[in-house]
Amino acid sequence: MLKQICLGLLLAAALSEARAAWTLTEGTNTGGPGSAVEVKLDGKLSARFVHGAGQFKPYLHVFGEDGELLTNAGLDASGKADGLFPHHRGIYIGWNKITSDLGAFDLWHFNNGGKMNVAKFEKLEGGRDAATLVATIEWRGGKKDAAGSDLLLTETRTLVISRPEGKRTQVDARFELKAARDLTLGGDLQHAGIHFRGAKELPARKTETSYLWQPDLPGPGGKVSSTNLQWCRLLFPIGAQWYASTELNAPANPVEDLSWRDYGRFGFFFKKSLPKDETLRLNYRFLTERVAAPANQPKPSPQQSKISRTEAQAQYDAFVKSLQQAGGR
């Protein structure tokens, strides 16, 4: 009898561990053009990496507690532009002025021939604690050199998706950009950098959104300038629920400005010159979680804002500590 009980407990533990697993599945993009990798925890959709035909850049969607889409797709099911500023999609990276011997190309709006292509997936790995996606992405201009190449740089994008304490979706995003030729990543803070864009309903509800950032400097016109920007947190509604999304900026990242808009797009900006074969390494952490409704709807109370600021700072400190433990990666 004791042996049977022990076997039963072991089987139950094994089944529980098997259920608490991250999976990644390649397939077509649901609700729009292209392909996608769906990231699920215990069968529940947490994130979707979108790329391929009909998409001009790869990006990551994030989903809420009830499976609601929290980020902007930019395209409808037929592939037509949908909503305000459809070039803003999920969690994404880009610069609207990348200059090289080929000329200047806009890899933000993608209106003069540039494109980002997923060349291959280096890793799609699930597990008990996290899901890991590693993709090689080619950034191409709209003009070829004498050798027939339009390659600007090759990116290795690593996304590690987890659910710390089961309370929030955490995306650790690492971008490694290796220049294929001498180039400059340039443009302006509203159209370049590493950004989060909330769902398409937010422009109609922009009076309900609010931001916090650190250091707590003035941010008129959606601009905060500092070389010591640590994090930015957006509070926003989705349906009847409320969510917060926080972008944490690693200390080693170059940064000049924080760009934010009340329709739910925000991110960090910098300009950078990259000689051929040089690699720029960037680390960010995105945290998205359901939160309590604002006490002074549609805005949070001073006490709520104070609590949110303390939480975001603790999350930033934990992020920095994790980078130090990983050897600065």
DSSP 52: S
pLDDT of residue 18: 47
Residues 146 and 235 sit within 8 Å (Cβ to Cβ):
no
Q: What's the token pair of residue 320?
A: 């920095």
Residues 62 and 44 sit within 8 Å (Cβ to Cβ):
no
Residue 39 CA to residue 25 CA, distance in Å, equals 7
Q: Who's near 18: CB < 8 A, 6+ residues apart?
A: none
Per-residue pLDDT of the chain (329 residues; tens, 9 = 90+): 445 544 554 454 444 444 569 999 999 999 899 999 999 999 999 999 999 999 999 999 999 999 999 999 999 999 999 999 999 999 999 999 999 999 999 999 999 999 999 999 999 999 999 999 999 999 999 999 999 999 999 999 999 999 998 889 999 999 999 999 999 999 999 999 999 999 999 999 999 999 999 999 999 999 999 999 999 999 999 999 999 999 999 999 999 999 999 999 999 999 999 999 999 999 999 999 999 999 999 999 999 999 999 999 999 999 999 999 987 55
**Separation in Å, CA 22 to CA 44, 71, 152, 207, 222:** 9, 21, 34, 36, 37
Residue 96 CA to residue 112 CA, distance in Å, equals 10
**Separation in Å, CA 78 to CA 54, 74, 90:** 10, 11, 19
Count of positions (residues) in the chain: 329
The strand ranges marked E within the chain are: 22-28, 35-41, 44-51, 59-62, 91-100, 103-107, 115-125, 131-140, 151-162, 169-179, 183-186, 192-197, 210-214, 223-225, 231-238, 241-249, 257-261, 265-269, 272-274, 279-291
Q: What's the token pair of residue 207?
A: 């009076």
pLDDT of residue 31: 84
146 has which bridge partners? none
pLDDT of residue 165: 86
Residue 165 CA to residue 186 CA, distance in Å, equals 39
Query: In this structure, is the dihedral angle defined by the CA atoms of residues 204, 210, 214 and 216, taken in order, positive or negative?
Result: positive
